[in-house]
Amino acid sequence: MKFFKVTSLTLVCMLLGVVIAMQYRSVMVINSLSVYEQQRSSDLITDLLREKRNNEQLQQRINELQKDLETYRTSSSNELETIRELNEYINKLQILAGLKTVKGAGVVVTMDSIGNAYLDDDHILTVLNELRATDVQALAVNDERIIATSEVRKAGSYMTVNGRKLLPPYVIKAIADPDKLESSLKMMTGVVETLEYLNIKVDVKKEENIIIPAVRDDGTVLRYDLLTPVD
């Protein structure tokens, strides 16, 4: 009888131990699972928002093209109308290529090193990339227009942009929605904060009227002699 009691007690205690361990494990699994699922759904939401925005822009471009095509079709007899339309498009292309001085609202970012801090081309490139990420429409460093093939290179105590020497402070001008530009630069652990940590003074100012000059058109910046168009 005594033996029976001891064994049953041992068995029950063992079972109790196993159940406790299981309970503990299941709680841990639930916790890690919910963290993972939350992360995944927030990833999905960012993707979704981006794709939706892309589609909106695509739709806009399609509407634009359709309108243009309509004008061309209806004006096939009217050459003046066609010329006007072509001119308008050429004008847009010139702006995009940086061949025209443009103005608009945006931000002016002034960068300079404090004391002996080392201001590198990387730092300027990071700022430019951050600005591009905010759908910027025109960019310039110390009034040198940034085009597709513009470099920013450290050479001694100055930078070269488009093959021209620039001295500090470096003034970056960007045309786009000023509020968006400012918030993307100044977000937590963002570009400005990182650069300030490296002892580089970064001053971001929103402005209503920014003028960005055209690219130097002396044949040294815009070169395309090695490009062969393919149909």
Partner 1 sequence: MENKIKGILFVVFLLFGMFVTMQARSIIMTRQQKSQNQTPIQSLSEELEQVKLEGLELQETLRALEEEMEEIIKGFDSGDNPILNELVKTRRHLQLINGFTDVKGKGVTVTLNDAPARTEAYPSELIIHDSDIIAILNELRAAGAQALAINDERIIATSKQLCTGPTILINKNRYPAPYTIKAIGDPDALYAVLEQSEAVFIMRIYNIRVDFRKEEEIFIPRYRVYESID
| Residues of span 23-82 touching partner 1 by CB under 8 A | 23, 26-27, 29-30, 34, 37, 40-41, 44-45, 47-48, 51-52, 54-55, 57-62, 64-66, 68-69, 72-73, 79, 82
Rounded Cα–Cα distance for residues 54 and 26 (Å): 42
Say which amino acid occupies 192.
V
Structure tokens at 19: 């159940």
**Minimum gap (Å) between residue 204 Cβ and partner 1:** 18
Length of the chain (residues): 231
Using CA atoms, how far residue 173 sits from 77, 153, 159, 192, 220, in Å, is 44, 18, 16, 15, 22
- Applying CB under 8 A, the span of 83-91, 106-114, 190-198, 200-208 interacting with partner 1 comes to 83-91
Asked if 132 is part of the footprint of partner 1 (rule: CB under 8 A), the reply reads yes
Question: Residue with structure tokens 């033996």?
Answer: 3
Positive or negative torsion for Cα 121, 126, 132, 138:
negative
Strand order in the sheet with 164-166: 152-155, 158-161, 164-166
Which lies closer to partner 1 via its Cβ, residue 115 or residue 224? Answer: 224
User: Taking CB under 8 A as the rule, which mask of x and - marks residues 151-190 in contact with partner 1?
Assistant: xxx------x------------------------------
- Residues in 89-128 that interact with partner 1 by CB under 8 A: 89-90, 92-94, 96-99, 121-122, 125-126
Q: How many CB atoms lie within 10 A of CB 204?
A: 19
Asked if 135 is part of the footprint of partner 1 (rule: CB under 8 A), the reply reads yes
- Applying CB under 8 A, the span of 6-14, 178-186, 195-203, 204-212 interacting with partner 1 comes to 6-14
Work out which of 3, 115, 116, 148 binds partner 1, going by CB under 8 A. Answer: 148
